Amino acid sequence: MLYTYLEKRKCVHCGKPLPDQYSLGRTHCKPILLANGKWSSCKDKKWSAIRKVDEVEFRNIKNFQKNMYQRIESLYRQVGEIVSVQQIDKFGINLMRCVELAVSKDGQNWEYRFVTYGFQKININTFKIIQHGKTF
């Protein structure tokens, strides 16, 4: 078949021109049969690139929360359940990056929840470590 490229369509993955003769629904290059007998397609490549980014991001979040969990555990073991903001800082715990912030309806009780543990606000400078057991 003789291909023309007047419509200037391009593969959304690699940017190569797509022939006008391809059906309008086709937005990627046609799969290519490689020498090893496997098919390679821009569509698959695009999705595996997206999945890879997701995996890296989720792994980073998991590692961060695992690290927070370990820090909270050692804070709890060394200081006990009532802790100050300074002690939380000293152990490198970042309340702003909790998994869930639970605020009671009247706005009186604030709880910064991490995996298994949470920090209940007692006053501006003091928190109580609670074990809610939730792993989300």
Q: Indicate the residue among 31 and 80 with the shorter CB distance to Zn ion.
A: 31
Decide if residue 61 touches Zn ion (CB under 5 A): no
Strand partners, 39: 33
Q: Indicate the residue among 17 and 92 with the shorter CB distance to Zn ion.
A: 17
**Residue tagged 């400078």 (tokens):** 125
Give the strands of the sheet with 126-131, arranged side by side: 82-84, 126-131, 117-123, 110-113, 100-103
Q: Indicate the residue among 13 and 121 with the shorter CB distance to Zn ion.
A: 13
Give the contact letters, 9-28, x = binds to Zn ion (CB under 5 A), - = no. --x-xx-x------------
* In the complex, minimum distance from the CB of residue 56 to Zn ion, in angstroms, rounded to a whole number: 23
**Residue tagged 């939730």 (tokens):** 134
Question: Which alpha helices (H) appear in the chain, and where do they start and end?
Answer: 42-79, 85-90
Using CB under 5 A, list all residues that contact Zn ion: 11, 13-14, 16, 29, 42
